[in-house]
């Protein structure tokens, strides 16, 4: 599969794809459908491994509005991993870029999910932090690809975006995980609008400022944003649809529904092995992972978008945030000499600190318009996306409790076992009394299980038979 290929820099700054089985291939993604087989073997657990940022390009179809302006398609995809732009007037060579995968088709959602997102989510379920980041100029299709529009996440169709497909995948796998683990899934959804972080799940009532923080256990995280426990796909879909409705959107010349903010949906999963489940040599007692699903606002030029006033100001801050992101990508790929990475220059780059150069496996979805009228922004997107491929993240499986969590876990385990012992004891006493005739069956309703209280309802015809078997309690 495309993502298993390792990369080598070519002299021209592009990259060529080497056969699978080298460097970053150590982290080649597993696609087993059984979650139990997704558990990472012990040898991985203490290691930090290098993982290059993967980049796929989505070339959306030419829009009617672009055709109406006389635009023609100029972006080629000569193979499934190459994008090509025609030469500028002053250049003789076409621009050629290699990526992990290129999608130039209508509705690439299903295929893209199966090929590149699902393997990443398998890692999320194994306890690794993961990120999917949509990047590109305004109107290039980021929101379409992520599915962060107001449209229904709860329907299932070809046009579904990455977010709804991901949530469905996670919930499907939780059914399997739950056979052995207590699992919790928390969702938060924020936007960065004009350099303020806003909670898309909140009702505006909270006055506590939303801040980006860092801790050794959690990495970078957002403080004071709501983290809502979700138990089903329906619950998650309703929550995220409501969040989408709160997002800042406006029309301009290049996009009728232009996102005026960067939106970050974060899904946190915690898995705790049930105390009653025996610990095998390969089982992890605890896994904690974080999935960022990021729909950036697109870079824009006021001359082309025609924005003024509030929208112009939004465009300026959007571009500032993206410039900071570009600087971080630049610094991370400048070579080994560079020490300072300017994450602190913007809230966006602080939040994405783990995703770019940190503890996360990251997939960038670079979106481009095929129109010749967008040649310059498309070239710029492809250049940055191409550079992002040489960012090396250091990922590790998050399988360690902090000392406090370890104590809480052991305490909960002890309490659960004590409760079980107490229950068994009282059932034994009750059974003994019953057999001696000291207790009438009317007095035991609250204690004994249904099949003993009402054997006929449970399909048991002989009362005596259920009382005499020692396994009945
Ligand atoms: N793969 C696609 N197939 C068909 N139409 C698409 C596709 N991708 C995007 N579009 C259409 O292109 C338009 C712009 O897409 P979208 O709003 O996703 O852009 P964006 O990159 O999020 O822009 P902005 O940065 O302004 O938010 C929309 O009308 C959308 O329906
Ligand atoms: Mg958008």
Residue-wise pLDDT for 257-316, tens only, equals 777 789 999 999 999 888 777 777 677 888 999 999 999 987 777 677 777 777 777 777
Domain spanning 38-400: CATH superfamily: Kinesin motor domain (3.40.850.10)
Question: Closest ligand to 251 CA?
Answer: 1
pLDDT for residue 187:
96
pLDDT for residue 7:
34
Residues contacting residue 327 through CB under 8 Å, at least 6 positions apart: 342, 345, 349
Which range, of 101-110, 269-278, 325-334, 442-451, averages the lowest pLDDT?
A: 442-451
Ligand 1 pocket residue status of 50, Cβ below 6 Å:
no
Specify the higher pLDDT residue, 338 or 425.
425
- Closest ligand 1 atom to the C-alpha of 299? 25
Global pTM value: 0.78
Atom 11 of ligand 1: nearest residue by CA position: 141
pLDDT for residue 33:
36
Q: How far is the CA of 113 from the centre of ligand 2 (A)?
A: 19
pLDDT for residue 101:
97
- Closest ligand 1 atom to the C-alpha of 318? 25
Would you kindly state where each structural domain of the chain is located, as residue ranges? 38-400, 406-472
Q: Is the pLDDT of residue 95 over 70?
A: yes
Ligand 1 pocket residue status of 109, Cβ below 6 Å:
no
pLDDT for residue 26:
30
Percent of the chain surpassing pLDDT 70: 78
Q: Is the pLDDT of residue 191 over 50?
A: yes
Question: Closest ligand to 255 CA?
Answer: 1
Ligand 1 pocket residue status of 2, Cβ below 6 Å:
no
Q: Is the pLDDT of residue 2 over 50?
A: no
pLDDT for residue 154:
56
Atom 1 of ligand 1: nearest residue by CA position: 60
Atom 23 of ligand 1: nearest residue by CA position: 139
Model pLDDT for residues 122-134, shown as the tens digit of each residue: 999 999 999 999 9
Model pLDDT for residues 200-254, shown as the tens digit of each residue: 997 766 667 888 988 877 778 888 899 999 999 989 988 998 888 887 777 777 7
Specify the higher pLDDT residue, 107 or 46.
107
Model pLDDT for residues 11-25, shown as the tens digit of each residue: 233 332 222 333 332
Ligand 1 pocket residue status of 162, Cβ below 6 Å:
no
Q: Is the pLDDT of residue 446 over 70?
A: no
pLDDT for residue 257:
79
Q: Is the pLDDT of residue 47 over 80?
A: no
Q: How far is the CA of 374 from the centre of ligand 1 (A)?
A: 14
Model pLDDT for residues 349-375, shown as the tens digit of each residue: 999 998 998 999 999 999 999 999 999
Question: Closest ligand to 256 CA?
Answer: 1
Percent of the chain surpassing pLDDT 90: 42
Question: Closest ligand to 60 CA?
Answer: 1
pLDDT for residue 468:
28
- Mutate which of 255, 256, 263, 378 for ligand 1? The one with the most ligand atoms within 8 Å of its CB, which is 255
pLDDT-derived band at 137, boundaries 50, 70, 90 = very high
Ligand 1 pocket residue status of 60, Cβ below 6 Å:
yes
Q: What is the mean pLDDT of residues 346-351?
A: 93
pLDDT for residue 424:
95
Binding site listing: 136-143
Ligand 1 pocket residue status of 290, Cβ below 6 Å:
no
pLDDT for residue 362:
95
Q: Would you state the structure tokens that stand for residue 113, as one six-digit string? A: 């999910």
pLDDT for residue 4:
31
For the chain, give the secondary structure using H, E and C.
Answer: CHHHCEEEECCCCCEEEECCCCHHHHHCCCCCCCHHHHCCCHHHHCCEEEEECEEEEEECCCCHHHHHCCCCECCEEEECCEEEECCCCCCCCCEEEECCEEECCCCCHHHHHHHHHHHHHHHHHCCCCEEEEEECECCCCHHHHHCCCCCCCCCCCCCCCHHHHHHHHHHHHHHHHCCCEEEEEEEEEEEEECCEEEECCCCCCCCCCCEEEEECCCEEEEECCCCEECCCHHHHHHHHHHHHHHCCEEEECCEEEEECCEEEEEEEEEEEECCCCCCCCCCCCEEEEEEEEEECCCECCHHHHCCCHHHHHHHHHHHHHHHHHHHHHHHHCCCCCCCCCCHHHCHHHHHCCCCCCCCCEEEEEEEECCEHHHHHHHHHHHHHHHHHCCCEEEEECCCCCCHHHHHHHHHHHHHHHHHHHHHHHHHHHHHHHHHHCCCCHHHHCCCCCHHHHCCCCCCCCCHHHHHHCHHHC
- Mutate which of 139, 294, 348 for ligand 1? The one with the most ligand atoms within 8 Å of its CB, which is 139
Please tell me the distance from the alpha carbon of residue 375 to that of residue 124, in angstroms, as a whole number.
36
Ligand 1 pocket residue status of 321, Cβ below 6 Å:
no
Specify the higher pLDDT residue, 162 or 3.
162
pLDDT for residue 151:
55
pLDDT-derived band at 153, boundaries 50, 70, 90 = low
pLDDT-derived band at 410, boundaries 50, 70, 90 = confident
Model pLDDT for residues 102-116, shown as the tens digit of each residue: 999 888 889 999 999
Mean pLDDT (the chain) is 79
């Amino acid at each position: 599969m495309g993502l298993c290929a390792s990369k080598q820099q070519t002299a021209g700054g592009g990259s060529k794809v080497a056969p699978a089985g080298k460097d970053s291939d150590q982290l080649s993604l597993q696609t087993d459908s059984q979650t139990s087989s997704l558990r990472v073997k012990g040898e991985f657990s203490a290691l930090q491994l290098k993982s290059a940022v993967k980049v796929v390009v989505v070339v959306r179809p030419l829009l009617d509005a672009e055709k109406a302006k006389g635009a023609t398609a100029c972006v080629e995809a000569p193979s499934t991993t190459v994008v090509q732009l025609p030469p500028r007037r002053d250049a003789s060579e076409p621009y050629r870029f290699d990526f992990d995968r290129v999608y130039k088709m209508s509705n690439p959602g299903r295929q893209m999910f199966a090929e590149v997102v699902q393997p990443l989510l398998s890692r999320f379920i194994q306890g690794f932090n993961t990120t999917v980041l949509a990047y590109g100029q305004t109107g290039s299709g980021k929101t379409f690809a992520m599915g962060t529009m107001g449209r229904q996440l709860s329907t299932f169709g070809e046009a579904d975006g990455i977010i709804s497909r991901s949530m469905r995948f996670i919930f499907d796998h939780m059914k399997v995980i739950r056979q052995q683990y207590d699992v919790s899934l928390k969702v938060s959804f924020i936007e960065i609008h004009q350099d303020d972080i806003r909670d898309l799940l909140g009702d505006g009532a909270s006055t506590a400022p939303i801040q980006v923080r860092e801790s050794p256990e959690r990495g970078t995280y957002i403080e004071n944003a709501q983290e809502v426990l979700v138990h089903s796909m329906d619950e998650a879909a309703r929550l995220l649809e409501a969040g989408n409705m709160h997002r800042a959107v406006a029309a301009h010349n290049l996009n009728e529904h232009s996102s005026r903010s960067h939106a970050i949906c974060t899904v946190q999963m915690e898995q705790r092995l049930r105390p009653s489940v025996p610990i095998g040599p390969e089982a992890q007692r605890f896994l904690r992972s974080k999935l960022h699903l990021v729909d950036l606002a697109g870079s824009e030029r006021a001359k082309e978008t025609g924005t003024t006033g509030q929208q112009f100001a939004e465009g300026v801050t959007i571009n500032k945030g993206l410039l900071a992101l570009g600087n971080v990508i630049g610094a991370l790929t400048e070579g080994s000499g560079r020490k300072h990475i300017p994450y602190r220059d913007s809230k966006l780059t602080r939040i994405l600190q783990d995703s770019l150069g940190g503890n996360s496996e990251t997939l960038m979805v670079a979106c481009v318009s095929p129109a010749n009228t967008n040649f310059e922004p498309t070239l710029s997107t492809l250049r940055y996306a191409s550079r992002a491929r040489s960012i090396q993240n250091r990922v590790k499986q998050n399988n360690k409790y902090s000392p406090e969590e370890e104590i809480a876990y052991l305490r909960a385990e002890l309490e659960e076992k004590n409760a079980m012992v107490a229950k068994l004891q009282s059932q034994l006493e009750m059974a003994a009394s019953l057999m001696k005739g000291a207790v009438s069956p009317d007095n035991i309703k609250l204690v004994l299980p249904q099949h003993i209280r009402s054997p006929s309802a449970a399909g048991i015809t002989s009362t005596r038979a259920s009382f005499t078997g020692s396994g009945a309690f």
